[in-house]
A = this chain, B = another copy of it.
Amino acid sequence: MTTSYDTIRAVLWEDDKLKLLDQRLLPQQEVYNEYQDSDAVAQAITDMVVRGAPAIGITAAYGVVLAVRKRLAEGGSDIVERLERDFTHLADARPTAVNLAWALERMGKVLFDLPEGADVERAMIAEARAIHEEDIAANQKMGELGAALIEEEGYGILTHCNTGSLATGGYGTALGVIRSAFAHNKISRVYADETRPWLQGARLTAWELVKDAIPVTLLADGAAAHLMKQGRVKWVVVGSDRIAANGDVANKIGTYSAAVAAKYHGVKFMVVAPTSTVDMSLASGDLIPIEQRGADEVLGLGGQRIAAEGAEAWNPAFDVTPAELVDAIVTEKGVVLNPTTEKMAAMMEK
């Protein structure tokens, strides 16, 4: 059942090339860009051609494949230095999602541990594909685990940003739970915050859900508390870009506002993310680097300036929801209720 409602892939490795669905053009145009150079892949991550913590990790892994191919073709004695620059370039593409660093570390470990005479490119492709396939499997597992937490039937679910096939290897994290819960007839409708300023909810989540025939209702981010007051949702389900050791959760700006409103209304709050998103090296969410994006994303819309000249803008791309507002963190290794450092550590050691 859980593999239905799953028709989209945003990251593809085909014909020895990386193909990325250009998410800046959705939903008006469905265009796959092709990449054969790791610097261009890094730029695509920065520019949000591809976004979503797991998806940028997978994309970076394929970026390493392209870097290795290029540096091997170039030859020369400083190949290691040049590859390290490629890794750094990919790592610096965006700061908040830890999946990026996680995927690069995993690719690097395989690369630098290869035996003499190994087929390097083939090994790199195999590892990137493994990262990709494990992510999809993790999402399907999380979909089942998360849907099992939803007891009342017939209500809506509120989600924020896009956490679906577009944000991951496929199926999705929070949207995977939603796909699974819908397949099990546990939810009637998805309420999707439009998610300003980048409008991932309006442009991406609505598109994914319409494609899979799951009913979706968009709302302005500021309307979420009013929705909760009306009793239309029992759960808020979101993804994450980085989870600290104590269960504090960095996610798309606006998530924290939804979590505060959920607590006030007795609505439960679920975070769905693979263990590649968990950063046990950071004791709390205060230590997570928060990307500040350009003011123009708030001062303008669709390339047109909307605010008066002279107005400034504050545009943090993420916020941190403290563990005390989180009812459940769902990873592929299991569910952590009311997260603490001890419970998170126990889950990670499984």
Interface residues of A, Cβ cutoff 8 Å to B:
27, 160, 191, 193-197, 199, 202-203, 206-207, 209-211, 215-227, 229, 253-258, 260-261, 263-264, 298-299, 301-302, 304, 306-316, 319-320
Contacts of A216 in B (CB 8 A): 311-312
Whether A312 pairs with B199 at a CB distance below 8 angstroms is no
What secondary structure prevails in chain A residues at the interface with B? mixed
Whether B225 lies near A299 (C-beta < 8 A) is no
> Cβ of A223: which chain B residues have Cβ within 8 Å of it?
253-254, 257, 314-316, 319
Instruction: List the number of copies, as a whole number.
Output: 2
Could you tell me if B314 and A217 are in contact, using CB atoms closer than 8 angstroms?
yes
Q: Select one of B193, B207, B224 contacting A308, CB under 8 A.
A: B207
A217 and B253 contacting across the interface, CB-CB below 8 Å: no
Nearest-neighbor residue (CB-CB) of A301 within chain B: B301
Residue of B nearest to A160 (CB): B222
Given the complex, which residues of B lie within 8 Å of A301, measured CB to CB?
Answer: 199, 301-302
A299-B218, A315-B220 are known contacts. Are A225 and B257 too (CB-CB below 8 A)?
Answer: yes
Of the candidates B203, B298, B307, the one whose C-beta lies within 8 Å of that of A220 is B298
Q: Is A197 within 8 A of B226, CB to CB?
A: no
Known: A27-B307, A206-B308, A306-B202. A219 touches B257 (CB 8 A): no
The answer for the CA separation of A217 and B306 in the assembled complex, in Å, is 14
Checking B206, B222, B299, B302 against A253 with a beta-carbon cut-off of 8 angstroms, the contacting residue is B222
Given A194-B196, A223-B316, A319-B223, are A218 and B302 also a contact pair (CB < 8 Å)?
Answer: no
Q: Contact: A197 with B225, CB < 8 Å?
A: no
Residues of B within 8 A of A258 (CB): 222
A307 adjacent to B202 (CB under 8 Å): yes
Which of chain B's residues has its CB closest to A311's CB? Answer: B206
Decide if A309 touches B217 in the complex (CB within 8 Å).
Answer: no
Cα–Cα, bound, A197→B211 (Å): 25
8 closest cross-chain pairs (CB), A and B = A222-B254, A206-B311, A225-B257, A210-B310, A226-B319, A221-B222, A207-B308, A196-B220
Question: A312–B310 Cα gap in the complex (Å)?
Answer: 36
User: B210 to A311, Cβ gap below 8 A?
Assistant: yes
Tell me the complex Cα distance, A220–B260, Å: 16
Complex Cα distance A261/B255, Å?
A: 12
Q: Given A221-B221, A308-B210, is A256 in contact with B314 using a C-beta cutoff of 8 Å? A: no
**A321 nearest CB across to chain B (Å):** 9
Cross-chain pairs A/B with CB under 8 angstroms, 12 sampled: A27-B307, A202-B307, A203-B306, A207-B307, A210-B309, A223-B314, A223-B319, A225-B257, A225-B260, A226-B253, A226-B319, A229-B319
